[in-house]
Each structure stands twice: as structure tokens, then as C-alpha cells.
Structure 1
Amino acid sequence: MPKTPAELFAFLDKLGIAVVTKEHPPLFTVADSRALRGEIAGAHTKNLFLKDKKDNYFLVTVDEEAEVDLKQIHHLIGAAGRVSFGRPEALMGFLGVVPGAVTVFGLINDDGRRVRAVLDESLMRNALVNAHPLTNEATTTIASGDLLRFVQATGHEAAILKVTAG
């Protein structure tokens, strides 16, 4: 069973990572989340759950406004050829979330370390980063350094790469 937001918060607390979470109506797209601007400080994320032709999976986390060239990103993230979006069943199986709630925090559910975490370097220059805490009915603010600590604590190597234009 996938972890719950409460289990995520307990994991973060055990690591000594302080976060602030704001509950809100479900948000399914970046456009939906723009309604919260001004209420939640920090960079807001967009997450791409991708797979290549050899069934390697990637979670690419970028700033919500960032443009990602899906025809070229495979060169940047080390994929075996072009990538496509992972199927909802794989998303649930590996990260424990549904489409519309994809989040870097889903790495807590990837016990088999099947998903490679890629954090955009421009996103990580922000002091604060916002992501859904395993549900799209809340947004959690975390310091970027603590986000990196979280990813590493889940047993993943966080690749910090320039994957966006600009």
C-alpha cells in the first residue's frame, strides 16, 4: 500500500525536516494551482513521470513555468532513446500516486528504486520548493536543501541537471 500524507510527514519529521502544508481544493494542472499564488511562498513544481524504451523510469521535477523539450530530454537524463509518459498503473505502482498528483514526494513509495529522480538545477536554486504531499488536495513547502535530503533518505540518487530551456 502506498504511504499516506501522514506517513510522509512522519518520515520528514524523523529526518528533522520542517515543512509547512496548506490544504486546498484538488489541483490537477499547473493552471489550477496558479490560483494559490501569493498564498504559498516559493517555487511551485511540475512533475513529469517518464519512461524510455527499455522501461527505465524517470521523475523529472521542474519549476511549474519551465518548458521541457520532451523530444530532447532523453539526451539530458540518460534515457535509452526517446521518452514517453509512464502509464497510470506504473505511476501508482512505483510512486503511489495518480495522474494529477505526481510529486517528488512519491519517491517515498519507490522501495525498489525503479524511478530515477531528476531535479532541475534552476528549480533547486530556490530557497523554498512546493510539491503535493502525495495528494493534490494540499501543497507542502520544503527548503530546497531539505528536499535533496529527503530524496537521498528514500535511497534515490538525485540528479540535479539543467533540463529546462532558459
Structure 2
Amino acid sequence: MPATPDDLFARLDALGVAYTLYPHPAVHTVAESSAVTAHIPGLHCRNLFLRDKRGAQLLLTVGNATRVDLKRLAAHLGTGRLSFGSPERLMEALGTTPGSVSPFAVLHDAARAVTPLLDAAMLGAYRVAVHPLVNTATITLAPQDLVRFIEACHSPPRVITFPL
């Protein structure tokens, strides 16, 4: 059974991570999110669940304004062609659905089958804003704490500088 936001908050608390939770109506796209969460401080992020032609799975978290060229990203990573993973694969690998994808979803990846990737611009932000496993809230935290969470639950994320 997938972890709940309360499970996530308990894990963040156990790690001593300071965060702020902002409940809001459900959002499914960056455009919807921008309209609803404009008042929330921090670098707002989006997430791309990707897979290469060999089946390797990636979770890329970037700032909302960051342009991602999948061909260049594949060349940079040394993978084959990248495409978006299906909703079924997303649920199987990360226990979440489109619109609710978050770097916190690595909490569900006990098999470590998904490689977490972060936009280097995130690390220079004062705060980052991401979903807490659901699309009805946004959580803000220091980027170093997000990295610490990913390392504690999964493995160190690979940091990528855009544009490629």
C-alpha cells in the first residue's frame, strides 16, 4: 500500500526536516498549479517520470520554468531514447498517479528501480516547493533537506545542470 502524506510527514519529522505545508485544491498540471500556488514561496518544481528503451526508469525533478529536451537528456545520461512512463508503471514503481508525482515518491521505491534526478538550479534555491505525495497540497523545504530525504529513503540523486 502506498505511503500517505502523514507517513511522509512522520518520516520528515524523524529526519528533523523543517517544512511548511500549504493545502490547496487539486491541481493536475503546471498551469493549474501556478494559478493556485502563486502565493507559496520557493522554487516550484515539476516531475517527469521517464523510461529509456531498455526499461530503466528515471524521476526527474526540475523547476517549473526549466526546459527539458529529452533527446539531449538521453545523450547526457548515456541512455537510449527517453519517453514518459505510463500511469501503470508510475503506480507500480512509485505508488503515485500523474499529477501527484513528487521526489518524495522514492519512499515507495524499495527496489531502487527508479533513478532520482534533480535540476542543479534547485540546490541554489532558498526553498523548493513540491507535492507531498498528493496534488491537494504543496510542501516547501530547504533543497538540502530534500536531498537528505532522498538519500535516507533511496540513494543519492544525480544532479543535472540545465540547459544541456
**Which TM-score band (shorter chain)?**
over 0.9
Residue type of the alignment partner of 2:163: A
Partner of 1:96: 95
TM-score (norm 2): 0.96
Match of 1:76 in 2: 76
Question: Hey, what's the Cα distance between the residues in 1 that align with 2:9 and 2:157?
Answer: 20
User: Is the Cα–Cα contact under 8 Å of residues 47 and 62 in structure 1 kept in the other structure?
Assistant: yes
Aligned partner of 1:117 in structure 2 is 116
Give the Cα–Cα distance (whole angstroms) in 2 for the partners of residues 161 and 67 of structure 1: 12
Change (3 A) 1:100 1:37: closer
Q: Distance in 1 between matches of 2:33 and 2:154?
A: 29
2:9 partner SS? helix
How large is the Cα RMSD of the aligned pairs?
Answer: 1.2
CA displacement, residues 38-76 of structure 1 (integer Å, 9 cap, x when unaligned): 421000001110000111000011000110001221122
TM-score by length of 1: 0.94
Residues 1:28 and 2:28 are matched in the alignment:
yes
Kept in 1: contact 2:25–2:36 (CA 8 A):
no
Which one-letter code corresponds to 1:95 in the other structure? Answer: L
Higher helix proportion: 2
Seen in structure 2, the aligned counterparts of structure 1 residues 32 and 146 have a Cα distance that, compared at 3 Å, is same
Structure 1 moving runs of 4+ over 3 Å: none
Q: Name the residue aligned to 1:147.
A: 146
**Runs of 5+ consecutive residues of structure 1 not aligned to the other structure:** none
For structure 2, the residue ranges without an aligned partner over 5 or more in a row are none
Query: Is the contact made by 1:72 and 1:82 (CA closer than 8 Å) also made in structure 2?
Result: no
Distance 1:41 1:83, change over 3 A: same
Structure 1: which amino acid aligns with 2:156? E
Corresponding residue pairs, total: 164
